[in-house]
Amino acid sequence: MKYILLGLIGFSLAFPVFAEEFAFNILAQDESVVKEVKSEGENVWIKLAPDHLTDSITLRISNQNQDSYRKWFNNEKDLVSAGFRGRDVWSDRVQTKAKYIEYWYNNVLVLHLERK
């Protein structure tokens, strides 16, 4: 039994698990639309509620809170993520260095993130 325990301790020391801290403060979240949020580095994923899997979500980014929106690669301040997602999957990945990320649904702010 000692050998198994020592082996498990040795394995955990040899392969430490580093959990990256969530890189954003959630300023607002409507969980009836956006169930979950996760981030990794500059990437952010959301998981939409089942009733909204086929809906479009609009994203805006800025370095000031709800002001001075930056343009996306398409030279627009709004990036529309078209619907049609699988059930219970992480979707709508965005990669940005912006301080603030806003997710809009039907002109209502449903998720507002601030980088820590």
Take residue 110 and report the two structure tokens written for it. Answer: 């449903």
DSSP string covering 13-75:
HHS---PPPP-EEEEEE-TTTEEEEEEETTEEEEEE-GGGTTS-EEEEEEEETTEEEPP-TTS
Domain ranges of the chain: 22-115
CB atoms within 10 A of CB 64: 11
Write out pLDDT tens, residues 25-50: 999 999 999 999 999 989 999 999 98
Token pair recorded at residue 30: 């409507």
Contact criterion met (CB below 8 Å) for 95 and 42: yes
Q: Quote the pLDDT of residue 6.
A: 38
Distance CA 25, CA 32 (A): 19
- Considering the domain 22-115, what is its CATH architecture? Sandwich (2.60)
Of 86 and 99, which is predicted with more confidence? 99
